[in-house]
Chain A
Amino acid sequence: MESLTQHKVQRYEEFVDRRLKPDLQHAIDERDKIFEQQKIFTDLRRNIENLEKNSITSLRTLVNLGSEVYLQAEVTNTQRIFVDVGLGFHVEFTWSEALNYIQKREERIAKKIDEYNQLIASIKAQIKLVLEGIRELLQLPAEKSLPERSF
């Protein structure tokens, strides 16, 4: 009996370590990537709004040539902006169009983040479940949710 229990416990633990934990890690990484994208678009939106607010027509920037070597660049007409819409395409927008697009984009990103959040939560729940099972097998006292609380 003991050995059987041991065996089970071991299998559960392995499952947790091999499947669930990496899954969790993976999901978290993906979510972080999405966070980054979200940040990018948020910043872009803010910049464009800024441009619009101050009616900036031209600006000077420093362009990174690589290895942190910068060269001055001048933008004469800021009315047209090319936005990356994925799959290697950039679409020429005016400010308002660009803002519109960015808005929609942001919504999509937020939805994705939600999905990932749910996935992560479910994986965490599964891990907890398996650990509980192991505890039961080992008949360790249940840690939390002790109903008896004498107040």
Chain B
Amino acid sequence: MEDTRRGTVTSLASLFPVEEAQKAANRVQDAIAEKRAELDHLLRFVADNNNLINLVHKLPEELSHEIMVPFGKAAFFPGRLIHTNEFLVLLGEGYYAERTSKQTAEILGRRGKALDSQVDSLEAMIKDLQAEANFFSQTITEAAEGLVEIREDYIEKDSHKEEIKSGPLKQHTSDLEKTEADNEEYARIVARMDELEKEELAAESGIDNEKDEQTTEDVGDISYQRPVGSKPHNSEDFHKSTPPVDQANNKSIATGSAEKHDNPDIADQLNFASLDLQSNVGEGKNAAAKKVKFVDHRKPLTHHEEKTVKATTASKSEVQHQPSQPSFNSHKAFTGSIVEHTENLKTLNGQSSSSTSSQVSGSRPSKPVSRFKMQRR
């Protein structure tokens, strides 16, 4: 498909220039080295603390110990350790506590725990930094390779049918034509919506059933979509057929529905497309009709074959489904049922040949239900 969607292709290298990524990676490496150094420091404290605890345990075993008593930094005195069970522990801020060996050991144990928690947090930070470094190195290699990031907008409704023209529905003339004439169709659709509404009202009851099946998928997704319109499927066609709009519509719908079958995505698209239409019309019928159209435009390439086939079937099914459609309608917002199938059918059949709004207009007079329209509106 060509670009109906506006897409952007950005090379990763532009998003993350290689040199900058390199610099960032280096920075992260430096940070990691720093943290590692701190970690070593802390680990040394932990080791010292453990040694001290052992010492504190051992000292009270003797009454006194012969030691070299330091005198400043550069001199020693030979002397003895006395009162070996009395330890003076610095609590911080110039406060000391005199404690026994066991109590000192407890204090040191608590200090050790605090150190351990610090070590843990530091290790966690190092891990995070490493993950960051990995990301950077990855980006660097990717950018160097020339990876590109392709971003496309998700276009729900096709106000630009022209865009979709690329995928022509070759087989179905009407539908195919439509894709090309999307723009025109859009204008026509708006005009037709009103008519369709009327027709739908008439055929709602009959068509609802069928449509429900098919459109449920779509409809479910888009609540606001009209019940009828939600499914571009054949059932929808019926709905549309009830307001026997243009044959073209039906066909487009059929193709749309066909598409939908093939691609759930298309269905979504249809839904969205139909949504647009629906919003205008407010009725399911129109939406369905419109949706189908959109769908056609959107993915002409993939589905045209199927569409064509389906279109034909759709048209046929429309006729058949009409009576069964009313159930379908229930799923959609469309509340009324399209009663006047026959009329629509006739119009559909007659109109299938022509794919333009003329059909719609032709169908219009056959719709008796204006009152539904009013209700729905």
Select one of B56, B76, B78, B104 contacting A77, CB under 8 A: B78
A82 touches B72 (CB 8 A): no
B48 touches A67 (CB 8 A): yes
Give the complex CA separation of A98 and B52 in angstroms.
33
B104 touches A69 (CB 8 A): yes
Contact with A along B96-128 (1 / 0, CB 8 A): 100000001000100100000000000000000
A81 touches B72 (CB 8 A): no
* Pairs of residues from A and B, 9 with the lowest C-beta to C-beta distance, nearest first: A68-B90, A75-B79, A70-B88, A82-B76, A84-B74, A75-B77, A72-B83, A40-B73, A44-B72
- B: residues with CB less than 8 A from A are 48-49, 51-52, 55-56, 59, 67-84, 86-90, 96, 104, 108, 111
A82 touches B81 (CB 8 A): no
Give the complex CA separation of A43 and B73 in angstroms.
9
Known: A61-B69, A69-B104, A81-B77. 12 other contacts (CB 8 A): A40-B72, A44-B72, A47-B71, A47-B72, A63-B67, A66-B55, A67-B48, A68-B90, A73-B67, A73-B80, A75-B79, A83-B74
Select one of B51, B55, B89 contacting A68, CB under 8 A: B89
Do A73 and B52 form a contact, CB below 8 Å, given A40-B73, A62-B88, A84-B75?
no
Most chain A CB inside 10 Å of its own CB: which residue of B49, B75, B80:
B75
Give the complex CA separation of A90 and B83 in angstroms.
27
CB-contacts of A34-87 with B (<8 A)? 40-41, 43-44, 47-48, 61-63, 65-78, 80-84
Give the complex CA separation of A48 and B74 in angstroms.
12
B78 touches A69 (CB 8 A): no
Give the complex CA separation of A96 and B142 in angstroms.
75
Q: A82's closest neighbor in chain B, by CB?
A: B76
CB contacts (< 8 Å) of B87 on chain A: these are 65, 69-71
B90 touches A80 (CB 8 A): no
CB contacts (< 8 Å) of B78 on chain A: these are 75, 77, 80, 82
Do A63 and B75 form a contact, CB below 8 Å, given A68-B89, A73-B80, A73-B82?
no
CB contacts (< 8 Å) of B83 on chain A: these are 71-72
Do A72 and B81 form a contact, CB below 8 Å, given A62-B88, A67-B52?
yes
Select one of A40, A41, A63, A78 contacting B81, CB under 8 A: A63
Give the complex CA separation of A98 and B74 in angstroms.
11
Number of CB contacts from chain A to chain B under 8 A: 98
Measured as residues with beta carbon below 8 angstroms from the partner, the interface class of chain A is 20 to 34
CB contacts (< 8 Å) of B55 on chain A: these are 65-66
A66 touches B74 (CB 8 A): no
Give the complex CA separation of A47 and B85 in angstroms.
29
Do A71 and B86 form a contact, CB below 8 Å, given A63-B67, A65-B55?
yes
Q: A80's closest neighbor in chain B, by CB?
A: B78
A63 touches B74 (CB 8 A): no
Give the complex CA separation of A62 and B73 in angstroms.
14
CB contacts (< 8 Å) of A70 on chain B: these are 87-90, 96
Give the complex CA separation of A98 and B84 in angstroms.
30
B89 touches A69 (CB 8 A): yes
Q: B83's closest neighbor in chain A, by CB?
A: A72
Q: A58's closest neighbor in chain B, by CB?
A: B79
